[in-house]
Amino acid sequence: MQRNGQAVKTVCDVLAQRFGGQFQTSTSLREQHAHTMTYIASQLPDAVLFARSTDDVQQAVQVCATHGVAVIPFGTGTSLEGNVNAPYGGISIDLSHMNRVLKVSTDDLDCTVEAGCTREELNDYLRDTGLFFPIDPGANASLGGMAATRASGTNAVRYGTMRDNVVNVTAVMADGKIVHTAQRAKKTSAGYDLTRLLVGSEGTLGVITQLTLRLYGIPEKVMAGVCQFGDVDAACRTTIAAIQAGIPVARIELLDALQMEMVNRYSNLSHAHQPTLFLEFHGSENSVGEQAEFFQALAEEAGGSKIAWAEKQEDRNRLWKARHDAFHAALAWRPGAKGVPTDACVPISRLAECVEETRRDVEALGLIAPIVGHVGDGNFHVLPLVMMEDADEVSRMETMVKRLAERAIAMDGTCTGEHGIGQGKMKYMALEHGHGWEVMSAIKRALDPGNILNPGKVVHF
Amino acid sequence: MQRNGQAVKTVCDVLAQRFGGQFQTSTSLREQHAHTMTYIASQLPDAVLFARSTDDVQQAVQVCATHGVAVIPFGTGTSLEGNVNAPYGGISIDLSHMNRVLKVSTDDLDCTVEAGCTREELNDYLRDTGLFFPIDPGANASLGGMAATRASGTNAVRYGTMRDNVVNVTAVMADGKIVHTAQRAKKTSAGYDLTRLLVGSEGTLGVITQLTLRLYGIPEKVMAGVCQFGDVDAACRTTIAAIQAGIPVARIELLDALQMEMVNRYSNLSHAHQPTLFLEFHGSENSVGEQAEFFQALAEEAGGSKIAWAEKQEDRNRLWKARHDAFHAALAWRPGAKGVPTDACVPISRLAECVEETRRDVEALGLIAPIVGHVGDGNFHVLPLVMMEDADEVSRMETMVKRLAERAIAMDGTCTGEHGIGQGKMKYMALEHGHGWEVMSAIKRALDPGNILNPGKVVHF
């Protein structure tokens, strides 16, 4: 794909006329829509269209397809790998105004929303139904964007990721045709799984405009706990034992010793500077008690501390504060530094080893980088705090990220558990997938022969 | 695709020379490999290759690709929609000798097997590990075949389907190249979900030769129960209430009144001739007791009977006997008739209505057809017992199946929840998927431009 200035001008003229004030070309808006949240340089789209319906998206994609101009779907812009950058210019289609909850079925435990609806908007809407949508990637991301990046987060260990919780999507494809990937039945064997193909495709195969999601009953009881360990290995062994034993832990988050020191200072807490698990159990009164007791026994076997428990909402919030503040605590630790989040995911049996090797590598490279992990899934984040004006430090950070991706892949894991490929992880696709990357690219070429949908991401063309 | 006799001859000569006794052309073996288990007429392959390795499969596919000859992957031949038929002849690749368990990771709760390993072989192998693989489609199918048809069965309500339990597959693609669809991490955001694309593709995109599967700890306690209801609606309402309440029921199977009458006679039981739920709960001692008590309360609210419970293995087997004997009880009910199984799946809120309308249609058409359902998923089976020599009855059966598929689709459901498309359900793909069927077909054309992999199934070319 190449940016064709004349084609862009034609498309902008057509869209401006058709959409009036929904279509914007101001630099500030264009900058906002290419803001990567990370150290990846922004690449601005030529214009932004605020879509109000699937029909709007369809019209815009058709115009862009006719003239070979790029289309970059945009939800809330909270992705972390340059996923919304516009390396070839083109039109950013902002779906944030498409944020209605269209339908909730309490009998079927599902709901249908427009793609721009955020997870917090959905959960606010559901407040009186006794149901909730569990996937929580941290940011208040749009549900369409979460589907597109196959997001997950802290409670994926119990509720799964977007892969598991999207029932179907409506998407506008590169030819401007609308696809509804599946019906609303809980399972089907009727052909290829187009839902799972679009989930995680990062806008390169279609623009998701609506989706149906699975919902869950709000648990009768929630119990939170904090448990500290002598080393990461003991925390990981306890996690493995708990999952093997079938304890349906809802959240199990690891903070390494450095991250604990950071949150202590930031939030004025007094935890030991040791690897720590933050826990949450969901269930009935009895079941939660049983889970907690069982977990405590397993933790003790691995030399873990006595667990501090909290039951009431405000106590649980206080207990989890350290985890929730982790990102800001890290930024405050080194004023002036940029946080450059990266993630990887390995089989849980390799997690302690992968975290420890990464820890040593961070130290060897003279970086400051706390580690936080969704350990029940073998997924962890490293957050190097980097002075971006120091080219040498930036280069050492890049070395660390590269070695981490390669280390994870060598351990039968993946270069990203939940952030996606975007631009930042493209260089690991061939290593991780081998011929599979060619298959992905062949699918892309078949469904988007003009390479207009989010070009330059995920696949090669 | 057309069968090219000269090309077939060439391929057979090459394969016979390369594979010796692994390559067979006897009519009886060819018949066995096209046996559809159903009323769909057999269409024989030209030959059968008993593969012993991924390398064997790769060599065979390469030869077939060179000469444009069809390849039909074969596991145990227990599929129900003509999925292994060979309408254009070609080579049936039998994977049943590739049945090794290659690796079990108790820490990661997964295992890697060759595609021909059956689910019973796997569970036998796992016996001493405390782990099991839950998906149970009834037949002792091969795990590769189960992945290819996205199989599920009685305990999908708790453990999910093959969609949820396949971590990765190794497959030989139409160009003879080998794809390993994912690493072994529990989750990933690294590109398109090739695993989910191959799961459910019924051998039309690649020949699955190995796969990694999720395993589960054998529950500490299992409790079974039987509960009878005044009508299907009451049974379904109880099911919905249980799932809304978050009871993690492991199995919840509906047998309609006719099916109960059949199993009573066949197995000499004395259940009332009423819609009946067969239940199973998995968990800790306490949790199972709690689940059972809660379920009983919900059943009573809907007018259900007092539940008959069983805890010990042999008592549970006795209790579940009626369910396990359902198929044979139906066949025995009408000697000389052929059982023609069909399935559909709808949102659970529409299940009672869909079952009742189907029941009325069966009666209106003068058919005999019991109904059995995996009601927790909204999935049910109808088993018309048909005298195949009576053309009028066959035609009425076909009408019933067609109306059922259309009814399910109209209710936002699918024409098949777990049997797959094969040849039998091709005619509903356009209705169910609209433009999505075109997208599926475009993917097929991109990955198998010669249409050699299981041609005539799932997609149009």
Three-state secondary structure along chain A?
CCCCHHHHHHHHHHHHHHHHHHEECCHHHHHHCCCCCCCCCCCCCCEEEECCCHHHHHHHHHHHHHHCCCEEEECCCCCCCCCCCCCCCCEEEECCCCCCEEEEECCCCEEEEECCCEHHHHHHHCHHHCEECCCCCCCCCEHHHHHHCCCCCCCHHHHCCHHHHEEEEEEEECCCCEEECCCCCCCCCCCCCHHHHHCCCCCCCEEEEEEEEECEECCCEEEEEEEECCCHHHHHHHHHHHHHCCCCCCEEEEECHHHHHHHHHHHCCCCCCCCEEEEEEEECHHHHHHHHHHHHHHHHHCCCCCCEEECCHHHHHHHHHHHHCHHHHHHHHCCCCEECCEEEECCHHHHHHHHHHHHHHHHHCCCCCCEEEEHHHCEEEECCEECCCCHHHHHHHHHHHHHHHHHHHHCCCECCCCCCCCCCCHHHHHHHHCHHHHHHHHHHHHHCCCCCECCCCCCCC
Burial letters for A286-302: b for 16+ Cβ neighbours within 10 Å, e otherwise? Answer: ebbebbbebbbebbeeb
**Sign of the dihedral through C-alpha A404, A405, A407, A411:** positive
Q: What is the ipTM of this complex?
A: 0.97
Three-state DSSP state, B220: coil
**CA–CA min distance B353, chain A (Å):** 14
A366 and A387 housed in the same domain: yes
Three-state DSSP state, B214: strand
Residues contacting A102, CB < 8 A, separation 6+: A111, A112, A113, A114, A210
Q: What is the CATH number of the domain that holds A161?
A: 3.30.465.10
pLDDT score recorded for residue B36: 77
List CB contacts (< 8 A) between A160 and chain B: 164
**Sign of the dihedral through C-alpha A152, A149, A42, A45:** negative
Query: Which tens digits make up the pLDDT trace of B96-111?
Result: 999 999 999 999 999 9
Q: Shortest CA distance to A64 belongs to which of A90, A86, A85, A45?
A: A90
Shortest CA distance from A201: residue in chain B: B192
Query: Which tens digits make up the pLDDT trace of A178-198?
Result: 999 999 999 999 999 999 999
User: Is the Cβ of B295 closer than 8 Å to some Cβ of chain A?
Assistant: no
Q: Are the C-beta atoms of B379 and B417 separated by less than 8 Å?
A: yes
Residue B306: count of CB within 10 angstroms of its CB? 11
Residue A41, Cβ density class (10 Å: 0-12 exposed, 13-18 middle, ≥19 buried): exposed
The answer as to whether B461 is a domain residue is no
pLDDT score recorded for residue A322: 85
Query: Which tens digits make up the pLDDT trace of B115-138?
Result: 999 999 999 999 999 999 999 999
pLDDT score recorded for residue B35: 81
The three-point CA angle A209-A163-A180 to 5° equals 35
Q: Give the 3-state secondary structure percentages of chain B, helix then strand then coil, rounded to 5.
A: 40, 20, 40
Q: How far apart are CA B198 and CA B214, in angstroms?
A: 17
Residue A48, Cβ density class (10 Å: 0-12 exposed, 13-18 middle, ≥19 buried): buried
Q: What is the CATH number of the domain that holds B58?
A: 3.30.43.10
The answer as to whether B139 is a domain residue is yes
Q: Closest to B439 (Cβ–Cβ): which among A105, A409, A447?
A: A447
pLDDT score recorded for residue B427: 97
User: Is the Cβ of A416 closer than 8 Å to some Cβ of chain B?
Assistant: yes
A30 and A81 housed in the same domain: yes
Residues contacting B349, CB < 8 A, separation 6+: A105, A107, A108, B240
Q: How far apart are CA B232 and CA A345, in angstroms?
A: 45
pLDDT score recorded for residue B39: 83
Three-state DSSP state, B104: strand
Contact B379 A187 (CB under 8 A): yes
List the structure tokens of B360: 């009325």
* pLDDT string in tens for chain B (461-residue length): 889 999 999 999 999 999 999 999 999 999 999 987 788 999 999 999 999 999 999 999 999 999 999 999 999 999 999 999 999 999 999 999 999 999 999 999 999 999 999 999 999 999 999 999 999 999 999 999 999 999 999 999 999 999 999 999 999 999 999 999 999 999 999 999 999 999 999 999 999 999 999 999 999 999 999 999 999 999 999 999 999 888 999 999 999 999 999 999 999 999 999 999 999 999 999 999 999 999 999 999 999 999 999 999 999 999 998 899 999 999 999 999 999 999 999 999 999 999 999 999 999 999 999 999 999 999 999 999 999 999 999 999 999 999 999 999 999 999 999 999 999 999 999 999 999 999 999 999 999 999 999 999 999 98
Q: How far apart are CA B242 and CA B236, in angstroms?
A: 10
Q: What is the CATH number of the domain that holds A272?
A: 3.30.70.2190
Residue B55: count of CB within 10 angstroms of its CB? 12
The answer as to whether B387 is a domain residue is yes
Residue A395: count of CB within 10 angstroms of its CB? 11
Identify the bridge partners of residue A355 per DSSP, sorted by sequence position.
none
User: Is the Cβ of B252 closer than 8 Å to some Cβ of chain A?
Assistant: no
Q: Shortest CA distance to A70 belongs to which of A98, A40, A93, A36?
A: A93
pLDDT score recorded for residue B322: 86
Residue B316: count of CB within 10 angstroms of its CB? 17
User: Is the Cβ of A393 closer than 8 Å to some Cβ of chain B?
Assistant: no
pLDDT score recorded for residue A36: 78
User: Is the Cβ of B410 closer than 8 Å to some Cβ of chain A?
Assistant: no
Interface test with B, best of A188, A285, A348, A379 (most B CBs within 10 A): A188
Q: Are the C-beta atoms of B263 and B331 separated by less than 8 Å?
A: no
A366 and A414 housed in the same domain: yes
List the structure tokens of A192: 């290829």
List the structure tokens of B97: 């000798």
The answer as to whether B206 is a domain residue is yes
B75 and B10 housed in the same domain: yes
Q: How far apart are CA A383 and CA A358, in angstroms?
A: 12
B322 and B351 housed in the same domain: no
Interface test with B, best of A439, A445, A448, A457 (most B CBs within 10 A): A439
The answer as to whether A376 is a domain residue is yes
pLDDT score recorded for residue A224: 97
Q: Are the C-beta atoms of A81 and A425 separated by less than 8 Å?
A: yes
Residues contacting B453, CB < 8 A, separation 6+: B70, B71, B73, B174, B203, B204, B205, B206, B207
B339 and B402 housed in the same domain: yes
The residue out of A196, A217, A238 marking a domain boundary is: A217
Burial letters for B371-401: b for 16+ Cβ neighbours within 10 Å, e otherwise? Answer: bbbbbbbbbbbbbbbbeeeeeebbebbeebb
B109 and B210 housed in the same domain: yes
Count of domains forming chain B = 4
User: Is the Cβ of A284 closer than 8 Å to some Cβ of chain B?
Assistant: yes
Q: Which residues constitute the domain of residue B239? A: 221-327
The residue out of B327, B348, B377 marking a domain boundary is: B327
Query: Which tens digits make up the pLDDT trace of B313-330?
Result: 999 999 998 899 999 999
Residues contacting B369, CB < 8 A, separation 6+: B258, B362, B382, B383, B384, B385, B400
The answer as to whether A386 is a domain residue is yes
User: Is the Cβ of A347 closer than 8 Å to some Cβ of chain B?
Assistant: yes
Q: Are the C-beta atoms of A351 and A378 separated by less than 8 Å?
A: yes
Q: What is the CATH number of the domain that holds B408?
A: 3.30.70.2740
pLDDT score recorded for residue A133: 98
Residue A391, Cβ density class (10 Å: 0-12 exposed, 13-18 middle, ≥19 buried): exposed
Query: Which tens digits make up the pLDDT trace of B287-311?
Result: 999 999 999 999 999 999 999 999 9
List CB contacts (< 8 A) between B184 and chain A: 347, 412-413
A45 and A63 housed in the same domain: yes
pLDDT score recorded for residue A298: 97
B13 and B59 housed in the same domain: yes
The answer as to whether A460 is a domain residue is no
A·B CB contacts under 8 A: 288
* pLDDT string in tens for chain A (461-residue length): 889 999 999 999 999 999 999 999 999 999 999 987 788 999 999 999 999 999 999 999 999 999 999 999 999 999 999 999 999 999 999 999 999 999 999 999 999 999 999 999 999 999 999 999 999 999 999 999 999 999 999 999 999 999 999 999 999 999 999 999 999 999 999 999 999 999 999 999 999 999 999 999 999 999 999 999 999 999 999 999 999 888 999 999 999 999 999 999 999 999 999 999 999 999 999 999 999 999 999 999 999 999 999 999 999 999 998 899 999 999 999 999 999 999 999 999 999 999 999 999 999 999 999 999 999 999 999 999 999 999 999 999 999 999 999 999 999 999 999 999 999 999 999 999 999 999 999 999 999 999 999 999 999 98
The residue out of A59, A78, A96 marking a domain boundary is: A96
Q: Are the C-beta atoms of B209 and B115 separated by less than 8 Å?
A: yes
Q: Is A454 left (phi over 0), alpha (psi -120 to 50) or beta?
A: left
Residue A32: count of CB within 10 angstroms of its CB? 16
Contact A197 B200 (CB under 8 A): no
Query: Which tens digits make up the pLDDT trace of A266-317?
Result: 999 999 999 999 999 999 999 999 999 999 999 999 999 999 999 999 999 9
Alpha-helical (H) ranges within B106-207 are 119-125, 143-148, 156-159, 162-165, 194-198
B197 and B158 housed in the same domain: yes
**CA–CA min distance A166, chain B (Å):** 12
List CB contacts (< 8 A) between B346 and chain A: 185
Three-state DSSP state, B312: coil
B358 sits in which H/E element = helix B351-364
Kind of pairing, strands B221-228 and B276-283?
antiparallel
pLDDT score recorded for residue B172: 98
A88 and A121 housed in the same domain: no
Q: Are the C-beta atoms of A383 and A341 separated by less than 8 Å?
A: yes
The answer as to whether A410 is a domain residue is yes
Torsion of CA B202, B208, B210, B213, to 10 degrees: -30
- Give how far Cα B286 sits from Cα of A171, B214, B221, B292, B376, Å: 46, 26, 9, 10, 23
B399 and B366 housed in the same domain: yes
